[in-house]
Amino acid sequence: MDLLLQTLVNGILIGGVYLIITLGFNLAFGVLGVIDFAVGEWVMLGGFTGYWLNHYLGLDPLLFLPVTFVVFVIVGALVYPMLARLLKGRQHARLLMVFVFTFGLSTLLKGGALTAWGFNQRAMDSFFSARSVELAGVYMPQIRLVAFFFGVLITVAVAWMLYRTRFGLSVRAVAQDEGKARLMGVNTNRVAALVYALYAGLTGMAGVLIGVIYTVTPQMGVQYTIFAFFIAVLAGLGYVPGVLLAALLLGLIQAFVAVYIGSAYSLLIVFLSLYLILLVAPRGILNRGRA
């Protein structure tokens, strides 16, 4: 019973971090129609941003979350014009070309990180790292708790932005029908640029949290790309509320497979279920996404 409860808590806690990555990812898909293959590399680079700031300034890596956010918002704003150029082009299969572009970008970023920093794993410690809380026989590392609550906080903030602000209204309008949104006077190009920048910023921050919980290495990106795809497909691509359920599910699948089947099978089962969900329910388990 204790083991079951512990596994449940582990799964939920890590799901909170995945939430941050996929929230932005799915939002960007909804507005731009773009599936960003480089999502895992933003996580990786975010992790390294946290690592190097921590390494040279010696402050707690969690304090650099806002800095990382700003850095990656700027990076996202710089990348967006290239995506926009591809999206406005006239060539055949534009969205597929954007996908290939982000694939090239991810190869470039991974190669650059590997060349600069090598294959080594690097760890960074936070104030919360070696501590834990025990509640009713369930043991919770503090850093994971902090990461989870940060994830929840970000989710609430994004939800507030989407449903309670004028900007959020225009984001939802563009996601629903870009042409009509433009007729209503929404500057769709600006909305898309801001959403992409926001997504990059959120993903970079998630990288810092993941880096503190585990380690950072230039090769870590691919795993988070597939996690982002998994959650987004499960949630239904473009359907933001579904992300809540899907991120927790991924955390739970990983935790339960690791405990009851063996951690070697964890990724296999994630990949296999991604494939099967794509085939059986391409609009997500809630049937609300775009196919």
Interface residues with other proteins (CB under 8 A) are: 35, 82, 85-86, 89, 91-93, 95-97, 99-101, 103-112, 114-115, 222, 226, 229, 233, 264-265, 267-268, 271-272, 274-275, 278-279, 282, 291
Shortest distance (Å) from residue 104 CB to other proteins: 3
- The CB-of-282 to other proteins minimum distance in angstroms stands at 6
Residue 194 Cβ vs other proteins, minimum distance, rounded to whole Å? 22
> Which region, left, alpha or beta, applies to residue 10 given φ > 0 means left and ψ of -120 to 50 means alpha?
alpha
Residue 226 beta carbon to other proteins: minimum distance, rounded to whole angstroms: 7
- DSSP notation for 76-96: HHHHHHHHHHHHHS-SSSHHH
Residue whose CB is less far from other proteins, 114 or 133: 114
Do residues 3 and 137 touch, judged by C-beta distance below 8 A?
Answer: no
Q: Residue 132: left (phi > 0), alpha (psi -120 to 50), or beta?
A: beta
The nearer residue to other proteins, 48 or 101, going by C-beta atoms, is 101
Dmax over Cα atoms in the chain, in whole Å?
A: 60
| 29/51 with CB nearer other proteins | 29
Nearer Cβ to other proteins (74/291): 291
CA distances (Å), 103 to each of 97, 107, 155, 172, in order? 10, 6, 27, 27
Question: 67, 52 in Cβ contact below 8 A?
Answer: no
Strands 132-135 and 138-141: antiparallel
CB of 212 to other proteins, least distance (A): 25
For the CB of residue 112, give the shortest distance to other proteins in the complex, in Å: 5
Q: Considering beta carbons, is residue 214 or 271 the nearer one to other proteins?
A: 271
CB 263 within 8 A of CB 257: yes
Q: How far apart are CA 199 and CA 214, in angstroms?
A: 22
* Beta carbon nearer to other proteins, 110 or 144: 110
